[in-house]
Each structure stands twice: as structure tokens, then as C-alpha cells.
Structure 1
Amino acid sequence: MKILYGVQATGNGHIARSRTLARALQKHPELEIQWLFSGRPKEKLFDMELFGDFWWREGMTIVHREGRLRSLATVAQVKARHLIRDIRELPLKDFDLVVSDYEPVTAWAAKLQKKPSVGIGHQYAFLYSIPMPRLNWLSHTILRAFAPTEKSLGLHWHHFDRPILPPIVPSNLQPSSDFGNHILVYLPFEHPAPMLEELSKVDQQFLVYGVPENLPTTKNIQIKAPSTTGFQQDLANAKAVICNSGFELLAEALALGKPILSRPLAAQFEQEANAKALEQLRLAAVVPHIDARNIENWLENLPPPLRIQWPNVAETIASWIAGGCKQSPAKLADSLWRKVIPNPNNGRAAAYQRVSE
């Protein structure tokens, strides 16, 4: 089976999830995968060796400034003619299936050329009734029209009694036996200079990813260069995590049992919905601003660690694709959620378990 797999590369989470799926798909030699990435300049992609000779298209991305999504600017920057041309001219004739991780060029090309298509990703969970802010017309339109597919496998930290699968995390993701003293910070949507200034006021060591490396820092802050391996090591060794409310990093932090302080990107539907879910499930502390006072209050009241052991969702999906995508998402979800293991040693886990049952 020949598959075109499109990945929305605006955020690192989509790519991280696709790396895990790529390794699982490689165990099925009958599958021939051609990868396509869009939403980020090609020269800003890194650690892409796993995807071989991948295709790249400009696609669509979001515009954000100082921690807030700019909807009008996002719409204004879309090169509509270029996007439509890429969709219409995408060569799908030799492919048996198109898979989209919320990537619009491949999804829309499959729709127009009537090719079988499957959506895999967190955004597809929002096709169901789950915790989310009130949809305005623009968010609703973008959510459903951005990357439509015939079938979809939505991913979330909880099923909410819907046919939604658990997150995809690397199979080798294991908590360190010897935590470091640092807090990992990944806040790529914040204005970096004020954010670093607030961190400098806290008596704590911070490892910061996602900001320019040439910014001035104080002795308690170290800015790290983009690195898949380095980031995973620093995450595993961290005593806690401060991040925006993107899905994939939070899933990995939960798999490692890290305390989390999260600040959703303002006016970004997905992150605001994620923040509601985090609060409802008691999985993280959510704040409207990242400042020294909020960080110190969080550190003074850290809850007991809650580690959620997700099953190997990537291998299940890879086998599902290799088998022709025949089993229903509901049956896939049911089989996978039975394998999720919340840590039973604290009250938060008990609360999460009750919601999961």
C-alpha cells in the first residue's frame, strides 16, 4: 500500500507525534510512506532524517503575537492562490491512501481527487462534544474546514465517552530515576524578553526552549537550542514543566509524571479547550499569565506526581492502517483505553480514574 502522509508542521507537537508513528509504520514493510510537511519554512525544520526524502508545501500557519492568536492576521497571510494551486496539483494518482495530521494540502487534495483519507491528530477530537470554549463562527469554520478527511482518529488525554484515542507518545519515554533541579520551560508563543525577566525573579533553575538563543539571561536561566533528543532528555530529567497548552508536550509530561503549569495561547481555540480539559481532569495548574508570582504560588503548592501510562497507540494505529482501516474508531478507542494505567497512589489519580471509567 502506498500512502501519502501529510503533517502540519506549525508546531513541534505534530512532528513529534509523526516521528513516533513513522517508527511504528516502518515495522510494516508492505507500507510505502511518502511524507509531506507544510506550515513552516522548510529551512526551519530540524531532525528530519527519519522522514527520508519528504515533500514540502507552504500550506497554512497561524500568526501570534505576545501570547495571543491574531485571527485576522492569520487569515490575511494565507496565500490563497498558491494554496489552491498546491492542492489541485498534488500528485495523488499513485497513492492508495492519504493520511493527514491536520495538514490541509493533503486533506483537501484527497477530497477533491476522491482518494480515501484518514485524519489522525488531536484536532480531530474536536469533532465530538468534549470540553471546549464556546465556538465562534470563525473557529468553528476553521476547525472543520482546515483539513477534512473521510475517517478520523481523534486523540486526547481522556475519551469523554466518545470514540477518541489516547495520545501518541514515544515508546521509550520513561521517567528518570534521578530528577534534576531544573524546570523545563517551553513557551514559544510568549514574548520572550518579558517572559525571561519573570523567570529571573524566581529562585529556581530553568532550561528554556523555543526562544532565540542570543537573548540575554541571568544565572538561573539556560536557553537551549532546538534538539529532539536534547529536549526529551531535559524533559525526562526535569522536576516540573512550564508550557503553553499544546497537546503533545502535555501528553509526554503526563506520561513522565511531571507537575505542569500551563498557560493557553489566548484566543487560540485548541489551547483554550485544552486548558479547560486540564482543569476538569485535574491534570495541571492553568494560569492566564506566566509571571513570577504565579510560578512561585504553583511551586509552593505542587500536587503529588500523577503519571499516566499510555499504551502503544502508534503501533495500534500502524497495524490498523496496514489492515485497511477496517476496525471502527470506537472499537480502537475502547481497546486502548482499557490499557491506560493512572498511578493509583494519590487522590488526583483516583479522580482521573473515576472520570475514565
Structure 2
Amino acid sequence: MRILYGIQGTGNGHMTRATQIIDELQKKSVIVDVIFSGCGKDKFYDPSIISPVGFYKGFTFSIKKGGIQIFHTAKNLSVGQFARDVLSFDASGYDLVITDFEPVASMIAKKNKIPSIGIAHQYAFLHDVPMDRSNFIAHMIIKHFAPADYTIGMHWHHFNQPIVPPVIPTCFKASNVTDEKLILVYLPFEDKDHVRAFLKPFSRFTFAVYGGTRKMSEIKEDNVIWHPFSKTTFYDDLAACSGVICNAGFELPAEAIFLGKKILVKPLKGQFEQVSNAMALEILNSGMVMNSLDKNKLNLWLSQSSKIKREYPNVAGRISQWVLNGNWSDTKQLISKTWN
């Protein structure tokens, strides 16, 4: 079996999830070719698992100072280039297309009449899960951004809907010792000076801040440590810390919930998925939400204790077996196995 796998290159959550699923497929002798969109060729990936056959612009949001810039997003859309990328791709020999909410692969599948499966958190919003129902346009974009013949949505809780738990990386385990004074921070879309001013007053804690490039050097400013991008040290700090401060994406909060870490999120303004995720965290009592870099909220959150760990199974392994079974219209057994 040969699969074309499209990965959305914005953020690291899509990469983390897709890498686990691709690894499981390859263990079952499946050939998987990967295309990226929304990132450059310098995107960090594991070359022992990921085999890129193309990097495309796709469609992405312009973000500045913690919010989506609607004008710049519209201005930077390259519909013509998107169409050329889809039309020029040689899709011969592929039995299936999987899209992790990646639009180029989705349209390649449609153009070439190849069966397609969407596997991502965003597909959970096709069901009755907590969401920002006031943002109707954004909800419609979610529905049509990367359509697929069959979809598997993911969330932290099932909400009595036909969705599966998150994919948790197999490369890390909970630390036996938690450093109550260590806080992991991942706010890549926020202004660095604002983040510094937000954290520095809380001198009793050490804040390990990630979001920079691999080329930058580690910088220590009193209680704030700015780290270059490193998967190894990031996961080490995630395992050892007592809490995580991040935007309201999906994968990092999922990992924090799995490890029993307290969570403080700041959803990106105007971003449907993040606003909806923040709502879900509050409903599940799994995290605290701030709409700005609020020192009062941070002070309250720092005084709270850690959360109870929530176990998730090897979802990537079960999804890969479901893909190979070929009965993609039937998700009942997959869903029941992953939540039980």
C-alpha cells in the first residue's frame, strides 16, 4: 500500500501527531510519502520517519502579537499557486491520501479520485463538541478547508461523539520527580517583550520559554530562560515541570493532560479552534484561560496544584491498523477501543 500524507506545517502539533501515525504505518510495511504546506523546507522533522516529496505554500493565517491579522491573511492568499500545485502533482501510484488538515493533499485526492482520510483535531468540529458557535464563518472554513471522504476527529474527551483521543508521543514518559518551581512556556505568537514582562515579576519560579529557532543560543534572564528549539530538552522540561503556559492549540495541552500538568492557555484572538479549545479546557476543568497576558490570572494559576493524569492508549497504532483494514466508513470499533 502506498499513501500520500499531507501535513499542515504551521505549529508543531500536526507534525507530532502525523509522525507517530506514519511511524506506525511504516512498521506495517506501508510506503508513506509526505507533503508539507504552510512552512519552508527548513521545517524540523524526523528524517528517519518522514520522507518529504514536496513543500507548498498552501493556505495559512497571518498572526501578530497573539491575534490573527485578517487583512494580511487575505492579502497573502495565493489561490493561483495553490491550484498550480494541485494540478502539477503526479499522484499516480497512490492507493490512499491522508490529510492532517492539509489542503493541498486534500485537493490532490479529490482531483485524482483517490480515497482520502482526514485525521486531525480539527475534524472533531464536524461533531457536537464545545466550540465557538458565534464564529459561523470560521466554522464553515474548518468544514471546507481540507475536506476528506472519511474523517477522524480527535479531542481530549469524547463528549459522547464519534471521535478519538489525542495521539501522544511514545518518546517521553512522566518524570518521577516534579520541579514545582519549573514552568514550561510555549507562546510563539506572542511578542517576546510582552512575555518577558509577564513572567519576570514571579521570581520564585523558573520559566523555560520555547518558541525560538534551532540556531539561537540559550539566554538566561534572571528567572526566565529562553531556549532554542530542541525536541529533547522541550520534552525533558515538559516531563519535569509542574505546569504549562501556552496558546490554546491541541497537541501540547493533550500532552500536559496526559502527564497531569496544570495548564494556563491564552487563545489566539479570532482563531476559532483556539477559542473553542479554551472553552473545552474549562468545561473539562483541565486548565485555566486568560484572554491577555494577565498577571493576576498567572498569580492565581501558580498557586494551584497539579492535575490528575489522564491515560490515553496508543491511538496512532490503532488508527494505523484501522487504515489497513480498509473499512473506512466504519469507525465504531476504532472509537470504542480507543476510549476503553
TM-score by length of 1: 0.89
In 2, the alpha carbon distance for the partners of 1:113 and 1:46 equals: 28
Residue 173 of structure 1 and its aligned partner are, at CA, apart by: 3.2
Residue aligning to 2:7: 7
Comparing 215-224 and 74-83, the one that deviates more: 215-224
In 1, the alpha carbon distance for the partners of 2:109 and 2:217 equals: 42
Residue 241 of structure 2 aligns with an amino acid whose one-letter code is A
Quick one: structure 1 residues 19 and 218, their matched pair in 2 at CA, closer, same or farther if it must change by over 3 Å? Answer: same
Residue aligning to 1:335: 337
Comparing 76-85 and 169-178, the one that deviates more: 169-178
- Alpha-carbon RMSD across the aligned residues, in angstroms, is 1.8
Residue 331 of structure 1 and its aligned partner are, at CA, apart by: 2.6
What does the per-residue CA deviation read over 1:63-99, in whole Å, with 9 as the maximum and x for residues that have no partner? 1111111233212211111011111222212100000
In 2, the alpha carbon distance for the partners of 1:107 and 1:64 equals: 24
Residue 185 of structure 1 aligns with an amino acid whose one-letter code is V
In 2, the alpha carbon distance for the partners of 1:307 and 1:273 equals: 22
Residue 46 of structure 1 and its aligned partner are, at CA, apart by: 4.7
Quick one: structure 1 residues 326 and 151, their matched pair in 2 at CA, closer, same or farther if it must change by over 3 Å? Answer: closer
In 1, the alpha carbon distance for the partners of 2:128 and 2:231 equals: 33
In 2, the alpha carbon distance for the partners of 1:46 and 1:98 equals: 20
The match for 2:309 among 304, 307, 324 is 307
Residue aligning to 2:75: 76
Comparing 215-224 and 119-128, the one that deviates more: 215-224
TM-score by length of 2: 0.94
Residue aligning to 2:206: 205
Q: Does the 8 Å contact 2:218/2:228 carry over to 1?
A: no
Residue 76 of structure 1 aligns with an amino acid whose one-letter code is K
Comparing 3-12 and 221-230, the one that deviates more: 221-230
Q: Does the 8 Å contact 2:95/2:115 carry over to 1?
A: yes
Residue 195 of structure 2 aligns with an amino acid whose one-letter code is M
Is the counterpart of residue 231 in structure 1 residue 225 in structure 2? no
Residue 214 of structure 1 and its aligned partner are, at CA, apart by: 7.0
Residue aligning to 2:50: 51
Q: Does the 8 Å contact 1:265/1:271 carry over to 2?
A: yes
Q: How does 1:96-175 map to 2 (within 5 A)?
A: 96-175=95-174
Moved over 3 A (4+): 44-49, 211-217
What does the per-residue CA deviation read over 1:100-139, in whole Å, with 9 as the maximum and x for residues that have no partner? 0000000011112211000000000001111111243431
DSSP-derived class of the 1:283 partner? coil
Residue 296 of structure 1 and its aligned partner are, at CA, apart by: 1.2
DSSP-derived class of the 1:55 partner? strand
Quick one: structure 1 residues 272 and 315, their matched pair in 2 at CA, closer, same or farther if it must change by over 3 Å? Answer: same
DSSP-derived class of the 1:51 partner? coil
In 1, the alpha carbon distance for the partners of 2:46 and 2:24 equals: 18
Residue 216 of structure 1 and its aligned partner are, at CA, apart by: 7.2
What does the per-residue CA deviation read over 1:297-339, in whole Å, with 9 as the maximum and x for residues that have no partner? 1112x1442100101100001111122144622331122111x
Q: Does the 8 Å contact 2:286/2:307 carry over to 1?
A: no
Residue aligning to 1:343: none
Quick one: structure 1 residues 191 and 4, their matched pair in 2 at CA, closer, same or farther if it must change by over 3 Å? Answer: same
Residue aligning to 1:268: 271
Q: Does the 8 Å contact 2:217/2:227 carry over to 1?
A: no
Comparing 46-55 and 126-135, the one that deviates more: 46-55
Residue aligning to 1:345: none
What does the per-residue CA deviation read over 1:10-69, in whole Å, with 9 as the maximum and x for residues that have no partner? 11100011121122112101x111011111122243544421344222212111111111
Structure 1 gaps of 5+ residues are 339-357
Residue 105 of structure 1 aligns with an amino acid whose one-letter code is V
Quick one: structure 1 residues 197 and 285, their matched pair in 2 at CA, closer, same or farther if it must change by over 3 Å? Answer: same
Q: Does the 8 Å contact 1:47/1:227 carry over to 2?
A: no
Comparing 47-56 and 15-24, the one that deviates more: 47-56
In 1, the alpha carbon distance for the partners of 2:154 and 2:317 equals: 14
Comparing 150-159 and 322-331, the one that deviates more: 322-331
In 2, the alpha carbon distance for the partners of 1:277 and 1:210 equals: 24
Quick one: structure 1 residues 329 and 316, their matched pair in 2 at CA, closer, same or farther if it must change by over 3 Å? Answer: same
The match for 2:321 among 312, 319, 322 is 319
Is the counterpart of residue 240 in structure 1 residue 243 in structure 2? yes
Residue 211 of structure 1 and its aligned partner are, at CA, apart by: 3.9
Q: Does the 8 Å contact 1:90/1:106 carry over to 2?
A: no
Q: Does the 8 Å contact 2:217/2:228 carry over to 1?
A: no
In 2, the alpha carbon distance for the partners of 1:71 and 1:256 equals: 36
Is the counterpart of residue 60 in structure 1 residue 59 in structure 2? yes
DSSP-derived class of the 1:309 partner? coil
Residue 329 of structure 1 aligns with an amino acid whose one-letter code is T
